[in-house]
Amino acid sequence: MSTSEKPKQFQDFLGTGKSLLRMSFERFSNICNPENILVVTNKSYQCLVQSELPELPEKNIISEPFRRNTAPCIALASLRIENEASDSTVIVSPADHLILEQDLFNESISDAINAAQDGSLVTIGIKPTRPDTGYGYIHFESGENSVRSVKSFTEKPILSKAEDFITAGDYYWNSGMFIWKNKTILSSFDRFLPELLENLRTAEEAIWVNDSDGIAEVFGSCQDISIDYGIMEKSESVKVVLGNFSWSDLGTWGSVYDQLEKDVHENASLGPNIQTFGDTKENLIVNEEPEKLIAVLGTKNLIIVNTSKALLVCDKNSEQGIRDIVNSISKSI
Is the separation of the CB atoms in 121 and 178 below 8 Å?
yes
Tell me: do 237 and 265 sit in the same domain. Answer: no
Q: 231 and 286 in one domain?
A: no
Has residue 333 got a pLDDT over 60?
A: no
Residue with the larger pLDDT of the pair 79 and 134: 79
Size of the chain, expressed as the number of residues it contains:
333
Range of the domain at 313: 253-332
**pLDDT above 80 (res 331):** no
Residue 233 lies in a domain: yes
Q: pLDDT of 280-301, one tens digit each?
A: 999 999 999 999 999 999 999 9
Residue 86 lies in a domain: yes
Residue 36 lies in a domain: yes
Residues 231 and 309 in one domain: no
Output the average pLDDT for the chain: 94
Report how far residue 171's alpha carbon sits from residue 162's, in angstroms, rounded to the nearest whole number: 9
Q: 48-57, 75-84, 147-156, 320-329: lowest mean pLDDT where?
A: 320-329
- 202, 223, 243 — which closes off a domain? 243
The CATH number of residue 195's host domain is 3.90.550.10
- When pLDDT is cut at 50, 70 and 90, the band that residue 252 belongs to is confident
Amino acid (1-letter code) at residue 108 = S
Q: Are residues 25 and 104 in the same domain?
A: yes
Is the same domain home to 100 and 224? yes
Q: Is the dihedral of CA 96, 180, 141, 70 positive or negative?
A: positive
248 found inside a domain: no
Number of domains comprising the chain? 2
pLDDT surpasses 90 at 21: yes
Q: Stretch 96-124: mean pLDDT, rounded?
A: 97
In-domain check, residue 1: no
Last residue of a domain, one of 243, 272, 291: 243
Report yes or no: 116 and 238 within 8 Å, Cβ to Cβ: no
The answer to whether the beta carbons of residues 304 and 313 sit under 8 Å apart is yes
Largest Cα–Cα distance in the chain? 66
Tell whether 205 and 118 lie within a shared domain.
yes
pLDDT digits (tens, 9 = 90+) for 117-132: 999 999 999 999 989 8
Listed residues 191, 210, 243: the one ending a domain: 243
Residues 186 and 275 placed together within one structural domain of the fold: no
Q: Which of 74-83, 98-107, 266-275, 313-322 has the lowest mean pLDDT?
A: 313-322
For residue 175, the one-letter residue type is S
How far apart (Å, rounded) are the C-alpha atoms in residues 326 and 333? Answer: 9
Per-residue confidence (pLDDT) for residue 330, from 0 to 100:
65
Domain match, 167 and 272 both: no
